[in-house]
Amino acid sequence: MLTIGGYTETALRGRGGRLVPPAGMGDSSGMEMTEVLTRGQVARQLGLSPEYVGYLAVTGRLRFTATPLGRLYDARSVEEYAQSRTKREQEPTP
pLDDT one-digit tens code per residue, 3-39: 555 555 555 554 444 444 444 444 443 334 568 999 9
pLDDT attached to residue 29: 37
Total domains, the chain? 1
Give the pLDDT mean for 56-83.
Answer: 92
The predicted structure's pLDDT at residue 24: 45
Q: What does the pLDDT read at residue 68?
A: 86
The backbone torsions φ and ψ at residue 83, rounded to the nearest 5 degrees and listed phi first, read -65, -40
Residues with Cβ within 8 Å of 86's Cβ and at least 6 positions away in sequence, in order, are none
Domain extent for 48: 3-90
Tell me what pLDDT residue 89 has. Answer: 73
Q: Where are the alpha helices (DSSP H) in the chain?
A: 9-12, 39-46, 50-58, 75-90
Cβ distance 65 to 72 under 8 Å? yes
